[in-house]
Chains A and B, each alone.
Chain A
Amino acid sequence: MAEGRAGLHVPEPVSRPGFEWDFSSVPIPAAGLVDRPPTNVAADEIRDFPFKLIRVLDDDGRAVGSWNPDLAVETLIEGLRAMMLTRAYDSRMVRMQRQGKTSFYMKSTGEEAVAVAAAMALERGDMCFPTYRQQGLLIARNWPLVDMMNQVYSNSGDRLKGRQMPVFYSSREAGFFSISGNLGTQYVQAVGWAMASASDGDRRIAAAWIGEGATAEGDFHYALTFASIYQAPVILNIVNNQWAISSFSGVAGGERTTFAARGLGYGIPALRVDGNDFLAVFAVTSWAAERARRGGGPTVIEHFTYRAEGHSTSDDPGKYRPRDEAAGWPLGDPISRLKAHLINGGQWSEVEHLAMQKAAEATVREADKEAESYGTLTGGGRPDPSTMFDDVYKEMPENLRAQRAQAML
């Protein structure tokens, strides 16, 4: 510690615009180094895990170590497909936003594995409490893209009837809880859902996601407190993508410890995983799910990843970080890494990959064509304005009936 007087420490990222990106201070251990404990391990036996990094895919795309989930090639290709479809979908929706067909969009570029691998490791009945950046959950669960687009366009086919901003999906059927603009709120709700499931003797579990920025919200603390006290069957995912809009992870408290380590103080086992490694994310999610289903209680998982694009279509990351910083992220890209793994194993080829890429783009294009036939934010079909007054309450009270009559004049 420097000699002298106390001064206010204001965290600052290593690089800003106009400078070279620099990830030299980010320690990246080799793949396969962390042993996979049994799912009934006592929490205090894996107290060092929040400071490790579970990685399966090495730099050559080989799956190494005891966390390798040994997935069938069909599963891997399905994962690749869902991640590529998610990326193609994101790319198309941003283009449509730029064309003025919707007001807003948020990509998940670089974080596709965090959602897709988790969805594939969970059971369909497990309830997900996502943030706005886990669209991969819906896509991996084969939820219709047209339905998602209808929501983004707030068109006549939007099941949410134009009430929610784009990307704030809701699908009870797909086990995808209604997204809120208020950060962190879903984290404690997921714990409540899991408590209800446990109290009901149900085998379904809950999974929640939160960004590293929102771990600073009180709800993060409430969720970990309740999850630990009642040993709720819940997976508490923290997606550490390094950035909360313009604030780097240090502003969320990431300079002196890991986000996974926050689980320790609550007595919750916590894992830290390479979030760009499909196999590793699949493996840790399966581990936590099995533990929860067996009555072993909650698990915290920090997914170490990088937000490769702007926060949203309203954001320009070039204003606060080096423009090409994403290219330097030492954990690479989740799609490229799974592709390399498949090619390395002789189970995939550039030709097949290109074909899958084209198929994903075509699927998205076709879906978009259909969705736009139901209208966009700026043209065509729209939700009936009189439905604006529905669902505030189960039955419409008199004041709302009167206001509806006024709105319809």
Chain B
Amino acid sequence: MNMIEAINSAMDVALARDSNVTILGEDVGFFGGVFRATAGLQAKHGKTRVFDTPITECGIIGVAVGMAAYGLRPVPEIQFADYIYPALDQLVSEAARLRYRSAGEFPMPITVRSPFGGGIFGGQTHSQSPEGIFTHVSGLKTVVPSNPYDAKGLLLASIEDNDPTIFFEPKRIYNGPFDGHYDRPVSPWAKHEGSEVPEGYYTVPLGKAAIVRAGADVTILTYGTMVHVARAAVEELGVDAEVIDLRTLVPLDIETIEASVKKTGRCLIVHEATRTSGFGAELAAMVQERCFYHLEAPVERVTGFDTPYPHSLEWAYFPGPIRIGMALEKVMKD
């Protein structure tokens, strides 16, 4: 399966397993979603389980909060992560806090799916990576898969989870992994690991990172599309890096990160999102706090620049193999 098929399969399985699972969002019903993630689900599970909503992100999340208060398990879709901002009040002030403020009377088992990330000439409003906004909110979980197998397993785990989860899907890798070489054709998922996806039910636990490449010299902390870009860069440069796909940003697999950095003594953080106050800052601070005496060089970050995501200048903006290479060189030098 490619990543879209895996995500579709996860929702199909969830709808069949639990009658409380309800999917709602713009164009998710009859049409099956602008990325086809919900294709066929309405026909199979019915209009009251999978339905189209008006174009109002705050309304979609607000309604999902009410549905969860009733006892359903809503899986709302926000068409692009760039359009999640109108829903911030309902996500931050309500979904994230309801369990806490009601002392457990109103748990919020909501999974917000949203395509995110750049690399597709999406310009300013079809490319953003706003995960740092959500990792800053107590009460929310934030998940970013990087391959079809994880996407399905993590999505099923998120839907089953009893806390509100922001599930960001890197749309650049919906159809195949992207190594950052924008001038080369992308091969489909079928030719890559992670594309063998069981038809039925399974989960990938939240809060567990994956070591996608074991190495001894430097730890690379990354997630989403950048997992593939970083891995490719490492192979091309011949660096013995340990590449960790975080998979879940909150809750974070601190143990895996700490063990790896203590082993390698060096750490590079890679994400597409803008730099200042991005999730990389939290990772860098945490590594510094926990691994200070094991570090042989300052923690490096390769990220998007602190600008809005530009259209024609996409490849100058995107933190691709060249910038990763330069950072690796720097972190390995000392």
* Chain A residues proximal to chain B, CB less than 8 Å: 127, 129, 159-161, 163-164, 168, 170-172, 177-178, 180-182, 185, 187-197, 199-200, 206, 218-219, 222-223, 225-226, 229, 390-394, 397-399
Contact = CB atoms under 8 A, between A and B. Distances in A.
A310 to B, nearest CB: 25
Interface in B102-124: 102-107
Given A171-B105, A189-B69, A197-B70, 4 more contacts: A163-B101, A178-B106, A180-B93, A188-B62
28 contacts: A129-B66, A163-B103, A164-B101, A170-B106, A172-B105, A180-B94, A180-B101, A181-B93, A182-B93, A185-B62, A190-B66, A191-B66, A192-B63, A192-B70, A196-B22, A206-B66, A219-B59, A222-B63, A223-B62, A226-B54, A229-B54, A391-B103, A393-B99, A394-B99, A397-B207, A398-B254, A399-B251, A399-B252
A243 to B, nearest CB: 24
Contacts of A181: 93
A399 B94 contact: no
B90 interface: yes
Nearest to B63: A192
B141 interface: yes
Given A393-B141, A398-B254, A178 B105 contact: yes
Nearest to B19: A200
Interface string B259-278: 00000000000000000000
Contacts of A194: 66
B54 A177 contact: no
A195 B107 CA distance: 18
B105 A195 contact: no
B106 A177 contact: yes
A222 B59 contact: yes
Given A197-B70, A398-B254, A391 B63 contact: no
Nearest to A224: B59
Contact of B94 (A163, A185, A206): A185
A194 B105 CA distance: 18
B58 interface: yes
Interface residues of B, number: 48
B165 to A, nearest CB: 10
B89 A185 contact: yes
Per CB-CB distance, the 10 closest pairs between chain A and chain B, nearest first, are A192-B66, A188-B62, A222-B59, A192-B63, A196-B70, A189-B66, A397-B251, A178-B102, A193-B66, A170-B102
A196 to B, nearest CB: 4
A251 B198 CA distance: 58
A286 B247 CA distance: 51
A379 B153 CA distance: 50
B69 A222 contact: no
Given A197-B70, A225-B56, A189 B65 contact: yes
Contacts of A398: 251-252, 254-255
A160 to B, nearest CB: 5
A129 B255 CA distance: 42
Contacts of A206: 66
A196 B71 contact: yes
Given A178-B105, A178-B106, A193 B69 contact: yes
B163 A394 contact: yes
B58 A218 contact: yes
B85 interface: no
B207 to A, nearest CB: 7
Contacts of A182: 89, 93-94
B64 to A, nearest CB: 6
A172 B90 CA distance: 20
Nearest to A182: B93
Contacts of B72: 196, 199-200
Nearest to A228: B54
B192 to A, nearest CB: 32
A127 B64 CA distance: 16
Contact of B162 (A160, A195, A225, A394): A394
